[in-house]
């Protein structure tokens, strides 16, 4: 049976991906600097080998044969997702894959110092090649999919979504978001917020983080918490490696960062075991992945009852009992404080979508050839002024040079962040129809919440399309009204 051969082939790929994931995690969290050269070479060889397996010529015939076999719904989903990944991998010539990878690595590497030095000309000189090769890639993908270049890039991260739907979604958000931000900032001016004064030893912060992970039912038999400069969730579903970074003068960042990564981790830990190693058993999309981390961080983590429980826990474990900065009320204010800032990764829940929409509009037009890469700094400045009232003129480091995503040509990724926030709000709204979420949080036993997520999202892997998944879970496809309602309820 061809489907069996296909399944075995993808399981074989997954073993090399396992190595890739763990070596990547190790490079970020353990590896001494002198190990970098050999590690990069090993990772490049693994990537080359995985690409070779992912584009194996025999797959096309197997797909055709399997399409004629009598398949169950699950088997059809297995076939569909394998074929989707195969098409994404095979459509781009190997020369282009390699050229983009090299240009991306070089641009990203140089960017790490160029950003600090606000060196736009230096960056632009490398980046033009990355943009050029990415547009070449987008063009080829567009022809194969009969869609626009940017739509084609979106399929890498959000299969099934389109510029048309994002234009509507984000266009609508732009109508109400800037006013809401101004209103909330105005309203919060009267608040006085205490900043908890450190130092908070990293070891105490780690113990606190692990205790919160336990409450969030992270399975420590199938994962770990470690440290890295840039926090992430890596590893494999049966051994999920999340990382954080401790700032001894501020515990709030690492704590909420751990909650965020725990959301990613529980999605991975909850993926369907029986589909391990095949694409249909993987997370549905970057947006759905982000919906889980943001469900944990925003829907649960900033929920007043949850803040209440961690405020006393944090005071105890950080030896700060009696410190007025650790009251529930103060932490709630701290974790919902809204500020207009330059930096996306530092943005609060309310201003974050403005950062994403700005990037979406620019990368969409860049991939579709409507603008040139040299237009980006000016456009960035105009849009920052329009959405957040800030100018980034001549401030490249805090403007268009701030993110890593574009340095290696990951155009199409940014929308996932705000899609995730929207899905998270919609899941919470749907969940509340059958579950008393407030009571569950207050009781300290979040099992009903996690059971809902497991049943409706985690255990589904990629068996359904995103639209089907969301519709089965919530009764409707993506509806941004839930996100707007959530923000108005929380912030007004």
Residue list for the binding site for Zn(2+): 260, 264, 290
Could you tell me the sign of the dihedral formed by the alpha carbons of 134, 268, 9, 43, in that order? Answer: positive
Candidates 40-48, 141-149, 257-265, 460-468: pick the segment binding a copy of itself (CB under 8 A): 40-48
Residue ranges in 407-436 that form contacts with a copy of itself under rule CB under 8 A? none
Using CB under 8 A as the binding criterion, the count of chain residues that bind a copy of itself stands at: 35
To a copy of itself, the closest distance from the beta carbon of 341 in angstroms equals: 36
Could you list the residues known to form a binding site, using ranges.
260, 264, 290
Query: CB-wise, 33 or 72, nearer to a copy of itself?
Result: 33
The string of DSSP letters for 136-151 reads HHHHHHHHHHTS-HHH
Q: Which of 8, 41, 93, 109 binds a copy of itself (CB under 8 A)?
A: 41
Query: Rule CB under 8 A: which of 171-230 touch a copy of itself?
Result: 219-224
| 3-class secondary-structure state, position 423 | helix
Q: Is the dihedral of CA 67, 73, 74, 80 positive or negative?
A: positive
Contact 93, 133 (CB under 8 A): no
State the maximum Cα–Cα separation within the chain, in Å, rounded to a whole number.
Answer: 69
DSSP string, 454-490: HHHTGGGTTSS-HHHHHHHHHSSS--THHHHHHHHHH
Which CB atom, from 204 or from 466, has the smaller least distance to a copy of itself?
Answer: 204
| Residue 98 in the binding site for a copy of itself (CB under 8 A) | no
Question: What separation, in Å, do the N-terminal and C-terminal C-alpha atoms of the chain show?
Answer: 59
| Known active-site residue 60 | no
Contact letters for a copy of itself, residues 262-281 (x by CB under 8 A): --------------x-----
- Nearest residue (CB) to a copy of itself, 37 versus 434: 37
User: In terms of Cα–Cα distance, which of 166, 99, 168, 134 is closest to 368?
Assistant: 134
Binding test (CB under 8 A) with a copy of itself, winner from 39, 174, 215, 333: 39
Query: Could you say whether residue 95 binds a copy of itself (CB under 8 A)?
Result: no
- With CB under 8 A as the contact rule, the residue among 1, 4, 8, 38 that binds a copy of itself is 38
Q: Which is nearer to a copy of itself, 46 or 429 (CB)?
A: 46
Nearer to a copy of itself, 50 or 181 (CB): 50
Contact between 238 and a copy of itself (CB under 8 A)? yes
Q: Smallest distance, Å, CB 66 to a copy of itself?
A: 23
Q: Give 174-182's long-range contacts (Cβ < 8 A, gap of 24+).
A: 174/357, 174/387, 176/484, 177/350, 177/353, 177/354, 177/357, 177/387, 178/354, 178/386, 178/387, 178/388, 180/350, 180/487, 180/488, 180/491, 180/492, 181/338, 181/340, 181/350, 181/351, 181/354, 181/388
State the Cα–Cα distance between residues 399 and 412, nearest whole angstrom: 18
- The set of residues, in sequence order, having a beta carbon less than 8 Å from that of 463 and lying 6+ positions away, is 73, 74, 77, 272, 275, 280
Span from 26-34, 84-92, 403-411, 428-436 in contact with a copy of itself (CB under 8 A): 26-34
The two structure tokens encoding residue 171: 């266009």
Stretch touching a copy of itself by CB under 8 A, among 33-41, 60-68, 151-159, 381-389: 33-41
Nearer to a copy of itself, 19 or 88 (CB): 19
Please give the structure tokens belonging to residue 195. Answer: 């900043």
Residues β-bridged to residue 226: 243
Residues 434-453 that bind a copy of itself (CB under 8 A): none
Tell me the closest approach of the beta carbon of residue 87 to a copy of itself, in angstroms.
Answer: 25
The catalytic residue among 75, 137, 158, 261 is 261
**According to DSSP H, which parts of 270-371 are helical?**
286-294, 304-317, 328-335, 352-367
Instruction: Assess contact for 366 and 376: CB atoms under 8 A.
Output: yes
Choose between 58 and 481: whose C-beta lies nearer to a copy of itself: 58
- List residues with catalytic annotation: 261
Where do contacts with a copy of itself occur on this chain (CB under 8 A)?
A: 12, 15-16, 18-19, 22-23, 26, 30-35, 37-39, 41-42, 44-46, 49, 219-224, 235-239, 276
């Amino acid at each position: 049976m061809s489907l069996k051969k296909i399944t075995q082939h993808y399981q074989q790929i997954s073993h090399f991906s396992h190595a890739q994931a763990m070596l990547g995690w190790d490079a970020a969290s353990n590896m001494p600097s002198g190990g970098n050269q050999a590690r990069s070479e090993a990772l490049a060889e693994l990537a080359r080998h995985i690409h070779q397996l992912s584009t194996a010529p025999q797959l096309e015939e197997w797909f055709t044969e399997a399409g004629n076999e009598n398949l169950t719904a699950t088997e059809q989903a297995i076939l569909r997702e394998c074929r989707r990944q195969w098409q994404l991998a095979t459509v781009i010539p190997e020369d282009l894959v390699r050229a983009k990878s090299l240009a991306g690595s070089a641009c990203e590497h140089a960017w790490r110092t160029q950003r600090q030095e606000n060196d736009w000309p230096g960056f632009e000189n490398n980046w033009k090649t990355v943009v050029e090769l990415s547009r070449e890639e987008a063009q080829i993908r567009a022809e194969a999919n009969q869609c626009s270049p940017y739509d084609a890039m979106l399929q890498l991260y959000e299969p099934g979504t389109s510029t048309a739907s994002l234009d509507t979604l984000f266009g609508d958000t732009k109508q109400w978001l800037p006013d809401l931000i101004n209103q909330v900032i105005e309203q919060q001016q009267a608040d006085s917020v205490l900043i908890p004064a450190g130092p908070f030893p990293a070891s105490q912060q780690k113990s606190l983080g692990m205790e919160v992970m336990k409450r969030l039912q992270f399975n420590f038999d199938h994962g770990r918490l470690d440290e890295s400069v840039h926090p992430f969730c890596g590893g494999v579903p049966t051994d999920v490696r999340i990382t954080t970074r401790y700032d001894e003068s501020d515990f709030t960042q690492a704590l909420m960062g751990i909650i965020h990564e725990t959301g990613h981790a529980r999605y991975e830990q909850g993926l369907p075991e029986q589909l391990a190693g095949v694409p249909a058993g993987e997370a549905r999309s970057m947006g759905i992945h982000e919906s889980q981390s943001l469900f944990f961080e925003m829907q649960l983590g900033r929920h007043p009852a949850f803040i209440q429980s961690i405020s006393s826990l944090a005071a105890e474990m950080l030896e700060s009992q009696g410190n007025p900065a650790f009251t529930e009320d103060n932490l709630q204010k701290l974790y919902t404080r809204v500020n207009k800032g330059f930096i996306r990764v530092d943005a609060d829940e309310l201003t974050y979508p403005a950062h994403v929409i700005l990037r979406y509009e620019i990368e969409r037009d860049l991939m579709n050839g409507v603008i040139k890469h040299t237009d980006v700094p000016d456009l960035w400045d105009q849009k920052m002024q329009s959405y957040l009232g800030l100018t980034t003129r001549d401030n490249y480091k805090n403007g268009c040079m701030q993110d890593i995503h574009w340095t290696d040509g990951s155009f199409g990724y940014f929308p996932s962040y705000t899609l995730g926030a929207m899905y998270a709000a919609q899941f919470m709204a749907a969940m509340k129809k059958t579950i008393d979420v407030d009571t569950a949080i207050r009781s300290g036993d979040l099992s009903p919440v996690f059971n809902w997520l497991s049943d409706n999202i985690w255990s589904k892997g990629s068996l359904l399309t995103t639209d089907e998944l969301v519709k089965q879970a919530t009764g409707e496809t993506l509806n941004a009204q839930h996100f707007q309602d959530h923000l108005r309820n929380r912030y007004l």
